[in-house]
Amino acid sequence: MEERRYYQKEIETMPVEELKKLQSEKLVKQVRHVYDNVPYYRALMEEKGVTPDDIRGIEDLHKLPFLTKADLRDAYPYGLLAKPLSECVRIQSTSGTTGRRVVAFYTQHDVDLWEDCCARAIVAAGGTNEDVCQVAYGYGLFTGGPGLNGGSHRVGCLTLPMSSGNTERQIQFMTDLSATILCCTPSYAAYIGETLKEKGMGPDDIPLKAGIFGAEPWTEEMRHNIEETLGIKAYDIYGLTETSGPGVSFECAEQTGMHINEDHFLAEIIDPDTGEVLPEGSKGELVFTALDKEAFPLLRYRTRDICVLTRKPCSCGRTHIKMSKPMGRSDDMMIIRGVNVFPSQIETVLLNEGYQPNYQIVVDRENNTDTFDVLVEMNPDQVIDTVRGVAALEKSLANAMKTMLGINPSVHLVAPKSITRSEGKAVRVIDKRKLV
Ligand code: ADP
Ligand code: ZN
C-alpha cells in the first residue's frame, strides 16, 4: 500500500474528541483576545448580552454574534484589527468578485499558520521536495499566489512563481523546467489546456502530475475535463481572504470533499435566512471562526458560500471535517423569473452536452420580464454550415438547460474563442438588471 503522507500528521489525524478539546481551548482564548482588542466586535457582543465568561467551549459558539461582509465594509480598514500595526507584517485583499474589497492583516504567526495550511494541501495532492510547483495564481494583494507560494516553500518543492497570465510562457517553463504540480484557478487551468491543444500538444508532452485548483466554483465535469486535457489528478482547494486565503480546506486523494483545517478554523452551517445552526449533513451557509489568528481574527464570519459538512471517516486517515464543493455563493445565485439559478448548473449542462465551459450568462429586464441569454462558444472542431443547423443545436442546448433549471434560456452559439478568457477568476454573469 502507498504510504500515507501528511504535512502535520499529529494534527491532521488527531482523534475527533481531542480535536474538539483543542478547539474549545483555543476558542475561549480567542474570544477573550477579540473582546479585549476589537471594540467593534465587543459592541456586537454587548448588544447580544454575551461576555467572554459565557464562552467555555465550542458548545457555546452559537451565543456569539455573526460578522458579515457589511461589517467588514463598515469597519474598513482598521476596525477589526486585533493587534497593533507594528506587530503586523502583511496585508492582503479580496479579489472583489462581488465588488467590495476587504483588507486583511497578518502577523508573522498568521502568515505561518496560513502557509502551513497550504503546505498540507500540497502534500495531500502528492507534493514532496522532489516536485516543481508552478504557482500560476495571481501574486500581489490576491491571496492565491502568496498562499500557495508559501506552502510550496514549506513542503520544499522547487517553487516556480509564475503568477497568472502569459500562457505561452507558462507552457514553456512548465516543459523546460519540468513542473509537476500546477496551482491556479480552474478556469485558468482549462485555458492552459486549451492553449496546449491549439499548439498540437497533449498530456504526454507535459510533465505535470497534479493540479491544485480553487478560488472559484467549478463542477465535477470541469474537473474531468481538466484532468483529461492536462493528464493530471486535479485537487480542489478553498479559502477566502477574510479567514486568511486558500488552504482553509483542501482535497485529499479520496476527493469526496475538502478537509477543513479545523485546528485553525471552526466551521458551522447555518440557515442563511434565520441564522439557525443546522445539524451536520444539512445544506446551508458556511460560517467560520478563526481559532488562533492574531491580527484579523474573525468570529462567526458568514461566508455566503453554500455547502454541506460531513464527518464520515476518510480513507486518507485525516480526521478533519469535510465540506462539499461550494455550489456557489448565496450572492452568486441569480433569481431569474423567480427561479434560483447558479452558474454551476449551466456549466454542468454544457460539459454534459460536449461543450467547453466557455460561456457567459446575460440577464436583463424588458417590459418587466427577465431576459435570460446564455452565450456558448462552439467547439473549434464543430462544423455547422447552415443557419438551421446552428438553430437546432441552440434549441437542443436550451432544452437541456430547461430540464436542469426549470426555465428556458435563449442560447446563442458564438465563434470559438470569442468569449474573453480569464487568467484569474472567470466572469460568468452579466446582470444588467442591477444597473437600472
Ligand atoms: P472575493 O470575495 O473578492 O472573490 P476572495 O478572493 O477572498 O474574495 O474569494 C473567496 C471566495 O472565493 C470564497 O468565499 C468562495 O466563494 C470562492 N471560492 C474560493 N475557493 C473556492 C473553491 N474551491 N470552490 C468554490 N468557490 C471557491
Ligand atoms: Zn481525506
| pLDDT of the chain, 436 residues: tens digit per residue | 456 799 999 999 999 999 999 999 999 999 999 999 999 999 999 999 999 999 999 999 999 999 998 899 889 999 999 999 999 999 999 866 655 678 999 999 999 999 999 999 999 999 999 999 999 999 999 999 999 999 999 999 999 999 999 999 999 999 999 999 999 999 999 999 999 999 999 999 999 999 999 998 888 999 999 999 999 999 999 999 999 999 999 999 999 999 999 999 999 999 999 999 999 999 999 999 999 999 999 999 999 999 999 999 999 999 999 999 987 676 677 888 878 888 888 988 999 999 988 999 999 988 778 899 999 999 888 877 788 889 999 999 999 999 988 889 999 999 998 998 888 888 888 888 864 4
- Residues 349-375 as b/e (b if ≥16 CB within 10 A, e otherwise) read bbbeeebbbbbbbbbeeeeeebbbebb
> CA 306 → CA 31, 324, 327, distances in Å?
26, 9, 6
How confident is the model at residue 251, as a pLDDT? 98
CA of 328 to the centre of ligand 1 (A): 9
* Closest CA to ligand 1's atom 13: 240
Return the best residue to mutate from 72, 73, 97, 222 for the ligand 1 pocket (most ligand atoms within 8 A of CB). Answer: 97
> By C-alpha distance, which of 309, 297, 238, 237 is closest to 267?
309
The CA distances from residue 183 to 44, 125, 187, 198, in Å, are 39, 11, 11, 21
- In ligand 1, the atom with minimum distance to the C-alpha of 142 is 6
Q: Which atom of ligand 1 is nearest to the CA of 329?
A: 16
**Distance (Å, whole) CA 270 – CA 66:** 11
Q: Which helix (H) or strand (E) holds 272?
A: none
Distance in angstroms (rounded) separating the CA atoms of residues 89 and 76: 18
Report which ligand 1 atom has the smallest distance to the Cα of 245.
7
Tell me which of 216, 235, 236, 242 to substitute to probe ligand 1's pocket, judged by most ligand atoms within 8 Å of the beta carbon: 216
User: Whole-angstrom Cα distance, residue 387 to residue 175?
Assistant: 42
What ligand has the least distance to the C-alpha of 125? 2
pLDDT recorded at residue 368: 79
All three cell numbers of 122: 500540497
- Cell 478568457 belongs to residue: 421
**Could you check whether the bond before residue 77 is cis, i.e. omega within 30 degrees of 0?**
yes
Binding site membership of 332 for ligand 1 (Cβ less than 6 Å): no
CA distances from 267 to 248, 288, 322 (A): 10, 5, 10
What is the whole-number distance in angstroms between the Cα of residue 223 and the centre of ligand 1?
Answer: 17
First to last CA, the chain: 61
Strand 132-135 and strand 158-160: the pairing is: parallel
Report the number of secondary-structure helices (H) and strands (E) in the chain.
Answer: 11, 19
Residue with cell string 485553525: 264
Q: 350 — alpha (psi -120 to 50), left (phi > 0) or beta?
A: alpha
Task: Name the strands in the sheet holding 429-431, side by side, starting at the edge strand that comes first in the sequence.
Answer: 410-414, 369-377, 359-366, 429-431
- 3-class SS of residue 431: strand
Cα radius of gyration (the chain): 22
Q: Which protein residues have a CB closer than 5 Å to ligand 2 (ion)?
A: 252, 254, 314, 316, 318
Q: Which atom of ligand 1 is nearest to the CA of 144?
A: 6
Contact call for residues 128 and 152 (beta carbons, < 8 A)? no
pLDDT, residue 3, reads: 61
The number of the ligand nearest the C-alpha atom of 94 reads 1
- 215 CA → ligand 1 middle, Å: 4
Coil/strand/helix, residue 222:
helix
Quick one: which H or E segment has residue 307?
A: strand 301-310
The finding on whether 305 has its CB within 6 A of some atom of ligand 1 is yes
pLDDT recorded at residue 100: 62
Contact (Cβ atoms closer than 8 angstroms) between residue 374 and residue 412: yes
- Assign residue 429 a region: left if phi > 0, alpha if psi is -120 to 50, beta otherwise? beta
